[in-house]
């Protein structure tokens, strides 16, 4: 099975649909050239996942670490653990096996806090939200919120918010003909210049270039 993006619920938990069987499992061939966003964003699932690198290097971010694997190497993701997967180059490929015959792993307080904060950001990204708002969503101080994000995601809550807004912008750019100035406002940015700068930081191209590239890709 080849994906173009992963589907997640309101808690950023991946939605996985198994076929009936005594030992439910799925095998995915992940060609990052075919992913709409260019990578697999932060998510988690109760299932075990084994990923095996087929072509070029791939960066796996999990448990506060960035692990770069070469072709022929693999990694096991335990249940309930937040992780993100990014290509090292443009033409990365991997094979992933998902199966749900595993006991749930007890997650840390940091994991739970970050999941709660991510859910808050996902619901409120279009509004003018602050670090204080994000911290209050998981009942901790602003400093502890920043520490939890850095320990789990290696980024600040604000950086995650900006990345999520950019990812939502890619959906507008791909699925609609909405003017970029309107998309900027729809995803929570106040200025087109800052939106363009932030978009390029995460997607390595401008919003207009992204829209053009996506149209060419599916012609």
Comparison of pLDDT for 100 and 80, the residue scoring more: 80
Token match 């969503």: residue? 137
Lowest mean pLDDT among 29-38, 116-125, 169-178, 196-205: 29-38
Q: Report the candidate in 111, 102, 77, 56 with the shortest Cα–Cα distance to residue 6.
A: 77
CA distances from 137 to 15, 42, 115, 133, 161 (A): 24, 19, 11, 6, 14
Global model pTM greater than 0.85: no
pLDDT digits (tens, 9 = 90+) for 101-136: 555 556 788 988 999 999 999 999 999 999 999 999
Distance of CA 27 to the CA centre of its chain: 20
Give me the domains of the chain, ranges plus CATH numbers: 25-99 (2.60.120.10), 109-217 (1.10.10.60)
């Amino acid at each position: 099975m080849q994906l173009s993006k992963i589907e997640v619920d309101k808690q950023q938990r991946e939605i996985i649909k198994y076929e009936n069987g005594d030992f439910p499992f799925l095998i995915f061939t992940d060609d990052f050239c075919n992913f709409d966003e260019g990578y697999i964003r932060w998510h988690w699932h109760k299932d075990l996942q084994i990923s095996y690198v087929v072509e070029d290097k791939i960066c796996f971010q999990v448990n506060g670490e960035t692990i770069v694997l070469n072709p022929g190497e693999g990694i096991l993701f335990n249940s309930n653990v937040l992780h993100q997967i990014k290509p090292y180059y443009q033409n990365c490929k991997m094979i992933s096996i998902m199966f749900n015959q595993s006991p749930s792993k007890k997650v840390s307080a940091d994991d739970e806090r970050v999941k709660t904060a991510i859910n808050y950001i996902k619901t409120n990204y279009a509004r003018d939200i602050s670090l204080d708002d994000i911290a209050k969503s998981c009942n901790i101080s602003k400093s502890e919120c920043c520490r939890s994000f850095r320990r789990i995601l290696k980024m600040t809550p604000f950086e995650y918010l900006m990345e999520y807004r950019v990812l939502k912008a890619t959906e507008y750019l791909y699925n609609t003909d909405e003017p970029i100035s309107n998309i900027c406002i729809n995803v929570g940015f106040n200025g087109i210049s800052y939106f363009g700068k932030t978009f390029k930081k995460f997607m390595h191209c401008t919003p207009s270039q992204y829209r053009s590239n996506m149209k060419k890709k599916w012609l």
